[in-house]
Amino acid sequence: MEIAMPDTSTSAAYQETDRTVPARYRDRTSYDRALVHGILDAAYVCHLGFVRDGAPVVLPTLFGRVGERLYIHGSTGSRPLRAAGQADPGLPVCLTVTHVDGLVLARSAFHHSINFRSVVVHGVAHEVTDPQEKRTALNALVDHVVPGRSLDSRPPVAKELAATAVISLDLNEVSAKVRTGGPNDDAEDLALPHWAGVLPLAASYGAPIPSDDLDPAVAVPAYLTAR
């Protein structure tokens, strides 16, 4: 059975909507498709926001991207995942990811900031019920964390699939925001004797630590040592 994916338009940018146009710092906002994909693919955790019993809820969770669709998984007992399957036409959500690339230290406390890359996605999440799409989604979730890992691990059995719920969110209403560069000190503060600049931050990978019960004959896979 063919999986119905959203239209992957050849357009290089997403369309602006009322919800994706920011009220502040519009010059930092981008709708570039490649930029959005890059920010999403480099993030391990997203924050999924929705309304439950009239109150806002935001949950951190893993996710994966396949083309113009995001997948989020969890237990079948998870409230947002249950709601996405029960609601018609789905569960309205807002999904965000953020990378902090540097701490911006200004001469004044007011102008301290961070350099960052972020994406905000608005839309309606739906439960994934097609078995083939569900397996595709779960493979994407595993490979999102470590590319190539889904082929180097046991696939889920029927009992595990039954205990796992997956929701999908199409990339339709999307925007990215990026801040780069140094502090924006006021002219009258430039002569103050306080250090100003950027303290870069970057994620790094350590050496793989084998499980205590791993057979010593099992070698560390190349996709881990090459990172």
- What pLDDT is recorded for position 78? 66
- What pLDDT is recorded for position 173? 96
Q: In the chain, what's the furthest Cα-to-Cα distance?
A: 68
Cβ count near 76 (within 10 Å): 13
178 token code pair: 């990026």
- What pLDDT is recorded for position 195? 97
- What pLDDT is recorded for position 204? 85
pLDDT tens over the chain, length 227 residues: 334 444 445 589 999 999 999 888 888 999 999 999 999 999 999 999 999 888 999 999 999 999 999 999 876 666 666 666 555 678 999 999 999 999 999 999 999 999 999 999 999 999 998 999 999 999 999 999 999 999 999 999 999 998 889 999 999 999 999 999 999 999 999 999 999 999 999 988 889 999 999 999 999 998 888 76
Residue with tokens 């990339």: 171
Helix (H) or strand (E) holding 179: strand 173-179
Q: How far apart are CA 170 and CA 160, in angstroms?
A: 25
- What pLDDT is recorded for position 4? 45
H-helix segments, the chain: 33-41, 79-86, 131-145, 158-162, 222-225
Residue with tokens 């009322």: 18
All structural domains of the chain, each given as residue ranges with its CATH number in brackets, are: 26-185+194-225 (2.30.110.10)
Q: What is the pTM for the complete model shown? A: 0.88
**Under the phi-then-psi rule, with left for phi > 0, alpha for psi from -120 to 50, and beta for the rest, what region is 186?**
beta
CB 51 within 8 A of CB 57: yes
